[in-house]
Structure 1
């Protein structure tokens, strides 16, 4: 599809290999079943169908009234104005007035009800999408940019909302009006109707020519919008890195490149769709000319077969005949855009949720961990696995440090223990039970993380600590903060525990954030503790506080620590030295020094 779009306009976007890789993955995930998407939307609206039927009924009444108006005008011309008969004219004019007033009332009622129906449907769709995203595995979020996911949650669903709010009624009205208008025209004069319909071949050719091009362009526009949003989110999140490496101009250049990609596709999409009103205006004028010319000749020479009133009706119907066609064509692009968005949304909803089944649902964990000949790769076709035939055992309450160069597999071990990923071969055992037999939530609820870069939510300090245990009392929150050495600095804040952490404000330091994250871990009373060098890049005073808090947190708990600095692991029971996903050596610090192996070389700077 990309080639069909680029070649006519001589356009070739300049994308790097990483962007092309992401683009290829999105192409593979794309859904193109329009009728299937319409069916899914219909199924999704099952609770609103009765109201939708009533709205369609109102639309039919509206269309009938819009046809009745011109018919009555023609009747007045033939039977009252030309005949010079004014008896009963007032009555028929009042009927005509009532027709148009009732027409406005039904139009308003249908629009009012449709807005409510559309917003409820969009709310349910957005809630379904968001709730389903919470069930998806980490691997799903690894494959898509966060900005693109945001685009599906916001832009795509908003397009569906706009289409349902306005396009549905207009689309339905146009179809019913078109059918009714043609039916009445045939009833009044088959010959003049046949002459009027001669514009249909031109119409079909014009609309087909335009929509065959706008359909792919609108889909591509949705994708390019997602790409741009993804890049913006990426750059905003990594702004510090951009500035540290003075890559501001590169960021601007890449943004402009993606923005131009979007601008180019949007330009041609809107340009082509803009042809439709012009085609319709031309056909409207041609249709009126046919009615006026052919109708006038028939009225003069057909001996009463065509009356002046019939010509008046046909002149109005000729306009009503092309107007719904124009509306259908204009709304077709909006509908295509909404369906493209719905396809993308359903593409996420159809993604298989993370399996949370298992025979061990409420098992209390002691903390014994065994890796038995475990191998794992992030990419299944990867030639060299990240973890290769790894075996070790950790006793309940034992603390272990993982050391090794980047890529040694330290973080991967933690992710396998958390069941963020499943092993390719071998077994991960917790308390002698294969981790696959546990319900994921059971394992994770008894495992706490303290990461190198703590993530806190834009909420009060109290709520951030309580996030580890939602039913925790204020006393439990305070006790956890005191144990984490966070209480003193929290009480120095103006609002204390009720202080709201604003992510764009820097009124607490990185070390203070780390203390809050330790309190959040403490309040869960975990059986297993996973630490990612929580004291790196922290000032000395805060580091001592964090180290003291961590010692309390690690007491009597199975603890696995990723160590970036060797002087921080003096108190652990054992050390595992990893390299390229394999265990080089393990033992206490004294044993490893006496062995004079890889650990001995590392502490001596070799």
Structure 2
């Protein structure tokens, strides 16, 4: 699994070949100078053979050479770190960009079924782990592996028995690292998943604090959080404990290697085997450190590596999600659109074996306003989802101007509709930026007229910076009703040929609602409109009212026709609503 994940990440590293080449070149210099420093340290020890037997001239020249090598080593190590950081963070930035691009291609169903906090965690926590681990690995590989190769060659040239001692110790370190990594990987994957869960839960609770406080949910939310947090602690502790074993075990084996070199080297000196000196033994002890250091450092960052691999796996899970069905290049020209809409034998279900829309048929003539009413869960908003191709029908088809909507590109199809939803969405920016979101070329007069029609102009004019006032997290906080009025004005400014109003006046007062209804009536003239409403007073002027129940149309007619109909389903809804109002 780890190899497969790394192979998928490797193309992102290959983008920065120049940086990798120069980092590798700097690493070779760093490794070579490290080995030479060790070699000359041994030579300097051999210049001091006894009391009063010091070759001072040679010693000073060796010390000067070592100083020069140390400076060269430091500079090359600095280049390795700078270039390694650049490769790590830029490659992760490319991966993050690809993941975001792919996220935009996913169907709405994915976002409905996946915690938003969990998705955010993959962009932040998971990829941060990847960049940190990549930096650490690159810094280790570029200089460390060069040291391993050069020091191995040098040791083989100097003394074979001592080299075997060092190699055996390093092999044991590698085996320990492999075993621990293999056994702890699943723990790190579980840990990353729980981190995503806790991010999702915090996002949910923090984003809905009014509801939490209104229903006195603080204590229960605290308990739920503590349960998730406790699970994260338990799994994290297990993962960290398993991973943390590698470094002390590696160092223990490394220290045993020191003792073994001293023991074997001492025996070789006593038995006069080979040209072994005290300086050579000193060099070998340092060579042993240099040779095993990259493996020990690798064990020291094993936690980072495990977290990074888990993060990469979670990242590629998003990239592996199937995008929306392939789109067509045919453009729906909204300038020439008449607005005839027809549902033909449409079947749809969100979940298999739980049908919602069955054999649904509806013909909407150009310019008609269609109101859709019914109990919660009747399928009203589902029709909008299908019409906008947020979801595709299971069977049957939907046509606009006698052409199936699947034959149009999704972008051009959605541009043909103006939507005002119950859930408002405004981004951090000026009021004007939010208003021209759907029509960047709108003039100031068009913006002002739309705001007057939606009864928000006077409020904006009273603000210190008027239409240039910044709203959002870092700016002015506005009410839900004011947000709704701005989204209504935004839709008017975009000038769509067809409209979808989904509980569009649910957050405004009755007086403002009447004003908006007048504006809507003017805006809807000549445009095919779909109005979803629970407040039946808002749909009296609709050309046609569809009464839905369990995904089916149970009644069709205008307001008067349905009220006058005996035992009318619509009549029961209407009377029940207004009886409640009178009470």
Normalised-by-shorter TM-score class: over 0.9
C-alpha deviation, 1:390, in angstroms: 0.5
1:376 to 330, 348, 356: 348
1:68 to 30, 36, 49: 36
Matched residue of 2:139: which SS? helix
Matched, 1:420 2:387: no
Q: Which aligned pairs between 1:187-586 and structure 2 lie closer than 5 A?
A: 187-200=157-170, 202-302=172-272, 305-355=275-325, 357-358=327-328, 360-364=330-334, 365-379=337-351, 381=352, 383-503=353-473, 507-586=477-556
State the SS of the aligned residue for 1:578.
Answer: strand
**2:273 and 2:31 mapped to 1: Cα distance?**
33
Contact kept in structure 1, 2:447 and 2:493, CA below 8 Å? yes
Q: Partners of 1:79 and 1:400 in 2: how far apart?
A: 100
Q: Does 1:167 align with 2:137?
A: yes
Which position in structure 2 is the counterpart of 1:100?
70
SS in structure 2 of the partner of residue 421 of structure 1: coil
* 2:579 pairs with 1:600: no
TM-score (norm 2): 0.93
1:388 aligns to what SS in structure 2? Answer: strand
- Unmatched 5+ stretches in structure 1: 1-32
Alpha carbons of structure 1 residues 118 and 471: separation in structure 2 relative to 1, 3 Å: farther
Q: Deviation string for 1:343-383 (max 9, x for gaps)?
A: 2222222333334632531423221110001010112x2x2
Distance 2:165 2:328 in 1: 72
The answer to whether the Cα contact below 8 Å between 1:174 and 1:327 also exists between their aligned partners in 2 is no
1:163 CA displacement:
1.9
Q: Deviations over 1:562-601 (max 9, x none)?
A: 1202222111111101110011111122222333231223
Tell me how far 1:304 sits from its aligned partner. Answer: 5.0
Distance 1:133 1:339, change over 3 A: same
Give per-residue Cα distances to partners, 1:430-483, cap 9 Å, x unaligned: 111001001111111110111123211121111111111123233322222123
Matched residues in 1 for 2:74 and 2:47: separation? 27
Query: Aligned partners of 2:349, 2:217: CA distance in 1, in Å?
Result: 32
1:54 pairs with one of 8, 12, 22: 22
Are 1:215 and 1:333, in contact at CA under 8 Å, matched by a contact in 2?
no
Query: Within the alignment, does 1:148 sit opposite 2:148 as a pair?
Result: no
Q: Distance in 2 between matches of 1:214 and 1:258?
A: 21
Work out whether residues 511 and 543 of structure 1, in 8 Å CA contact, stay in contact via their aligned partners in 2.
no
Shift of 1:46: 3.4
- CA distance in 2 between partners of 1:196 and 1:533 (Å): 75
Whether the 8 Å contact between 2:23 and 2:142 is mirrored in structure 1 is no
Q: Say if 2:432 and 2:467, in contact at 8 Å, map to a contact too.
A: yes
Counterpart of 2:61 in structure 1 is 91
8 Å contact from structure 2 (residues 174, 295) kept in 1: no
Partner of 1:471: helix, strand, or coil? coil
In the aligned structure 2, how far is the partner of 1:503 from the partner of 1:592?
Answer: 46
- Which moves more between the two structures, 52-61 or 212-221? 212-221
Q: Please tell me the root mean square deviation across aligned C-alpha atoms, in Å.
A: 2.1
- Of 83-92 and 220-229, more deviation after overlay is shown by 83-92
Deviations 1:372-417 (A, max 9, x none): 01010112x2x23111110011111111110111111100000111
Distance in 1 between the 2:478 and 2:494 partners?
A: 23
Paired with 1:598 and 1:468, the residues of 2 have a C-alpha distance of: 38
Equivalence for 1:28 = none
Q: Displacement, 1:40?
A: 2.3
Take 1:103 and 1:411, find their aligned partners in 2: how far apart are those partners? 67
- The CA distance in 2 between the partners of 1:95 and 1:508, in whole Å, is 70
Shift of 1:167: 2.7
The alpha carbon displacement at 1:71 in A equals: 0.9
Which segment drifts farther, 327-336 or 399-408?
Answer: 327-336
Native 8 Å contact 1:56 1:172 kept in 2: yes
Distance in 1 (alpha carbons) for counterparts of 2:224 and 2:247: 36
Mapped to 2, the partners of 1:251 and 1:299 lie a distance apart of: 71
Query: Does the CA-based 8 Å contact 2:162-2:261 persist in structure 1?
Result: yes
Aligned mate of 2:9, from 34, 41, 47: 41
* Greater alpha carbon shift after TM alignment, 390-399 vs 503-512: 503-512
Deviation at 1:292, TM superposition (A): 1.5
Which TM-score applies when normalising by structure 1? 0.90
The alignment of Structure 1 onto Structure 2 pairs a total of residues equal to: 572
Q: Is the contact made by 1:387 and 1:580 (CA closer than 8 Å) also made in structure 2?
A: yes
Q: Which residue of 2 aligns with 1:22?
A: none
The offset of 1:499, in angstroms, is 1.2
C-alpha contact (below 8 Å) 1:171/1:331 kept by paired residues: no
Q: How far did 1:102 drift?
A: 0.5
**Residue of structure 2 aligned with 1:135, choices 77, 81, 105:** 105
CA contact (8 A) 1:387 1:582 kept: yes
SS for the counterpart of 1:564 is: coil
Does the 8 Å contact 2:371/2:530 carry over to 1?
yes
Post-superposition offset of 1:428: 0.5
